Amino acid sequence: MQLGETGPKPGESTPLFALRRPRLPALPCASTAVIWKGAVNSMNTRCLKLFTTMLSLSAFTFGGGFVIIPLMQRRFVRDLGWLTEEEILDMVAFARASPGAVTVNVAVQVGTRIAGPAGALCGVLGTIIPPLVTLSVISLFYDALCASAVAAAFLYGLRLAVSVVVAGAVAGMAAEILRSGDRYRQAVLAAVFCLSMCTDVGAVWLLALSAILGWLLTGRAAA
């Protein structure tokens, strides 16, 4: 083939070394990279949002896990739309029946549900950092705080407020069950409430009894 010719002459074969390898289309690879990058950015955004949300809730919530639960419910269900009311109730029930702090247990479940293991880590970190820092600072001035009448009055008023907030959280969860119209769940709620108020049965046994009753009644309803 002479210089300037664009192809072989009629009847002339093309040498093997002159054959060019076909190029793979770059569009699928580019699309995959864009999709992967978008998924990673979305996951990072969710993890960051989860961490900052749990950090703010934990930093400005007093009274334990049952106080933060309605705030998490409002934030993740109503504001962000990441969870449903039913999922939050199930997570709280599982967290209450599991060993450890209720708030941390719920944070692990919420984080895993939203962003997988990375979300669980972000949720736990956002939950434990505020009390860890606060208690570390308080421990440095513990003796002075114990002897302070102002600190005692502050804690007394805080206990009253916490009691009201906890009662409100419990009332909200009970109202959700009553509004659901599920007679079996309402029956379990009434039975456990009566046992808790009228007997000295421990919380562990009440939780076990609730789980067994729920399992039996759900199986009967499905049948």
User: Each residue of 104-138: pLDDT tens digit?
Assistant: 888 888 888 888 888 889 989 998 998 889 888 88
Q: Give the pLDDT band of residue 27 (cuts 50, 70, 90).
A: very low
Report the amino acid identity of residue 167: A
Q: What number is the average pLDDT over the span 168-173?
A: 75
For 78-93, the pLDDT digits (tens) are 888 888 877 887 888 7
pLDDT digits (tens, 9 = 90+) for 51-70: 988 888 888 776 666 677 77
pLDDT for position 223: 53
Model confidence at 11, in pLDDT bands (50, 70, 90)?
A: low
Residues 138-154: pLDDT tens digits? 888 877 777 788 878 88
Mean pLDDT computed over 173-197? 80
| Three-state secondary structure string covering the chain | CCCCCCCCCCCCCCCHHHCCCCCCCCHHHHHHHHHHHHHHHHHHHHHHHHHHHHHHHHHCCCCCHHHHHHHHHHHHHHHCCCCCHHHHHHHHHHHHHCCCCHHHHHHHHHHHHHHHHHHHHHHHHHHHHHHHHHHHHHHHCHHHHHCCHHHHHHHHHHHHHHHHHHHHHHHHHHHHHHHHCCHHHHHHHHHHHHHHHHCCCCHHHHHHHHHHHHHHHHHHHHC
Could you tell me the two tokens for 189?
Answer: 């709620």
Share the mean pLDDT of the chain. Answer: 75
Residue with token string 């076990």: 208
Q: 85-97 and 149-180 are packed helices; what angle lies between their axes, rounded to 10 degrees? A: 120
The first and second tokens of residue 53, run together, are: 């949300």
| CA neighbor of 182 nearest in space, from 218, 139, 137 | 218
Sign of CA dihedral 119, 67, 74, 77: positive
Residue 142 and residue 44: Cα distance in Å, rounded?
A: 39
Please give the average per-residue pLDDT across 164-182, as a whole number: 77
CA distances from 78 to 25, 64, 84, 85, 186 (A): 45, 22, 8, 9, 24
What pLDDT is stored for residue 2 in this prediction? 47
Q: CB-based contacts of 1: which residues, under 8 Å, 6+ apart?
A: 7, 8, 9, 12, 18
Average pLDDT over residues 29-39: 52
For residues 172-195, average pLDDT: 80
The reported pTM is: 0.59
